Chains A and B, each alone.
Chain A
Amino acid sequence: MAARGRCPECGSESLVEDAHYAQQQLVCAACGCVVSEGLLTTTYTDEEHLREVAYSQSTGQKEQQSRCLQRGIRRVQDLCKALQLPAVFEETAVSYFQRALQLPAFHLVSLEKKELLGGCCVLVTCRQHRWPLTMGSVCSLLYAKQELFASVYLSLQQELGLSVPALSMAELVTTHLDSFQLFQPTANIPAAFLEDKEKLLARTMGLVELASEAWLVTGRHPVPIVTAAAFLAWQSLRPSPRLSCPLARFCRLAGLDLPPPAHLRLKELLEILLGMASQLSWLRAFRLDKKTVVKHLGELLQHRLFLLKRAFSQQQQEDMAPSSDSPCQRSPSSAVPQQQGRPSAGKQQQQQHGGTLRPLLPPCLIHPRKRPRAPSAPAVPITGNEPISDSEIEQYLRSPEEMQAFRKAKGWP
């Protein structure tokens, strides 16, 4: 605000009150001459009336981070170190955390959630760099409840508007097998169980790709599939001593967790493999079952794309080659279960080729658990304004005797 008066130097009237550091001054806006200035020192009486500047009003508060933020950042950094992530991940995760904590959705929540927020930021960073960190591992590191972690993760994704790529299976397989204990000889592992890492990795990768083609991966938790695939791959590399080892023992020896769905994934994988095996003419003579098909896993994987197309009926007719293929599509050996399938597509294939082929569909469509819902159209379309009869309403009201009994039962007076 311009003060009144004239500048003694140039005579202009535009005098401005300005502060030079903490000292008030009256300055001419035209020539810059200082007309008058405040006192540098204060007297005793002045000091008695002065009040100290509160911390919240000083500029220092904005520069310093809140304790909550500091603790959170430390936690994120610790997590990155525990997971042995590259340094650039740590910076990204910390920046996400800082951004998120400023939002009201995360600022005013419980400390437990703030801790999970740090874990979520690390997870997002890893996903964006294609580092296969599973939610399960982060949860176990943070001792977190899965549901709470899930809700914080999803809200983080939404609030920050992040596009988080999906977990990449190839990297997951590599990382998962890193913790395998069957690569080095130790005391309690029989020599026949030791395996070469590269071969196991390659074969497991092939099996996981096969599972993904065969609809076993979409919509399912990725880790049990990797466990089942690693087991089959390991068995197939040296079948004779290893076929008798069950999945549970394998996981114990290898030092891996055995997630409950792994058994089901194993069954599904074996079913797919048996189907494929029935299409290889030199294997049909063997009458394979789920124990023995593992021995031929290498061949099956080698020709997997071709076999998948042949072994399972396709949805588009264009894939079915003409008569030259028909000898190969005779009914497979009796040991192979192939009688499932949705009626329409399956029957179409059968009519055209005389074989019994199961369509290549996700297992939830092959074995539907619920009966398909018939559409229930109401017989009479209602308007919502129909008259409501008294008798209908009265059926919902208690009689006096009932009320007495209810009151007694509840212990009310």
Chain B
Amino acid sequence: FKDDFSTSPHLFTPMSPYDLELPIQGASQLSQSKELCTDFSSVDLSFLPDVTQDNKEQNLSEDGHEAQKELDGSLPSKDSGVFMDESSLSHPGAALASPEAPDVCPPLTPMTPVTPATTPSESSGIVPQLQNIVSTVNLACKLDLKNIALHARNAEYNPKRFAAVIMRIREPRTTALIFSSGKMVCTGAKSEEQSRLAARKYARVVQKLGFPAKFLDFKIQNMVGSCDVRFPIRLEGLVLTHQQFSSYEPELFPGLVYRMVKPRIVLLIFVSGKVVLTGAKDRSEIYEAFENIYPILRGFKKPS
């Protein structure tokens, strides 16, 4: 019983009254303090592993027992124990009742169904959202930039300022830098697939303009994600204990720059609890980096 409490706070927002030092505040607190997204009905959660023995014990409430039967195999462990009626439980996307009806739906729903790197019982319950993907591709032919700027509506070319055409498309909303060597950089997509689709569209535009463009060596160069841990962070404290990784210069930048070694990700941590993760070549690196930093940040949640 008590062991599981060490992991369960991760499932709840820190605004919850639940606290590690007071295990006597038991099940009743668990059921009151949810701020999880209320609407799961549109998301397919079947990819998540079945509820394990550990998770079942966490999800206690006054009406614990019936609820547990419903939990077996149908609900993912991220749902926690407010059980209004059994009919809503049997639906895999059960809406959770939360007394405070939050204004914001926290970013629990991942962009595309992806198995999380860590098991749900250890995870923080927060999934970073991807905000920007930068990718490059080789069109493998020399391009006449002036020609492209003339023929394309969505192109911008100012050779005195920058030696590339800046092209934009509406869907997916992205920007591309097209160089005369035939190399192209595509930025602004929110997922790897969107970036690939956008790059293909740009290549198609170039093809339609009469160039023999190919689509070689598409590679994701950088991924940027962001999330919110929902509690303020004492950056001064963090820079003291993690001096070798952190750089906090309030005179220069309000956030703390944390250079994580494994995975090699740079995190920008702000006093509001918002975290920006960048430098990833793969989405799993962002998730892993956040799971690494979350327990560290929890240590700096100031219970003033």
Contacts and interface: CB of A to CB of B under 8 A. Distances in A.
- Do A and B associate with each other? yes
B111 interface: yes
Given A219-B270, A347-B100, A407-B150, A396 B105 contact: no
Contacts, number: 166
Interface in B189-205: 190-197, 200-201, 204-205
B250 A222 contact: yes
Interface residues of A, number: 65
B109 A375 contact: yes
Given A218-B234, A348-B100, A393-B201, A375 B107 contact: yes
Given A345-B15, A360-B304, A361-B232, A374 B255 contact: no
Interface in B208-260: 208-209, 231-236, 239-240, 243-244, 247-252, 254-255
A219 B304 contact: no
A54 interface: no
Given A315-B231, A361-B232, A403-B151, A396 B196 contact: no
Given A136-B251, A218-B236, A316 B204 contact: no
Interface in B161-190: 169, 171, 190
Given A163-B244, A219-B270, A397 B208 contact: yes
Nearest to B196: A384
A308 B304 contact: yes
A377 interface: yes
B232 A403 contact: no
Interface string A330-353: 000000000000111101100000
A401 interface: no
Given A315-B15, A319-B303, A394-B208, A365 B272 contact: yes
Chain B interface bracket (under 10, 10 to 19, 20 to 34, 35 or more) = 35 or more
Interface string A368-380: 0000101111100
Contacts of B151: 397-398, 403
Contact of A403 (B150, B191, B235): B150
A398 B148 CA distance: 10
A390 B100 CA distance: 49
Nearest to A215: B232
Interface in B108-149: 109-113, 129
A314 interface: yes
Contacts of A345: 15
B22 interface: yes
A397 B129 contact: no
B178 to A, nearest CB: 13
A398 B35 contact: no
A120 to B, nearest CB: 12
Contact of B14 (A153, A167, A315, A374): A315
A362 interface: yes
B88 interface: no
A309 interface: yes
B271 interface: yes
Contacts of A314: 303-304
B201 A219 contact: no
A382 B270 contact: no
Interface string A207-251: 000001101011111100000000000000000000000000000
Given A215-B271, A219-B271, A365-B272, A374 B105 contact: yes
A375 B205 contact: no
B190 to A, nearest CB: 8
Given A135-B252, A388-B201, A397-B153, 20 more contacts: A166-B236, A218-B235, A222-B250, A315-B15, A316-B17, A344-B100, A362-B271, A362-B272, A372-B103, A375-B105, A377-B43, A378-B191, A381-B112, A386-B197, A392-B171, A393-B208, A396-B153, A396-B205, A398-B151, A402-B153
Interface of A: 134-136, 150, 153-154, 157, 163-167, 212-213, 215, 217-222, 308-309, 314-319, 342-345, 347-348, 360-362, 364-365, 372, 374-378, 381-386, 388, 392-398, 402-403, 406-407, 412
13 contacts: A218-B250, A219-B235, A219-B250, A315-B304, A317-B25, A318-B22, A345-B15, A382-B193, A383-B193, A388-B200, A393-B201, A398-B151, A398-B153
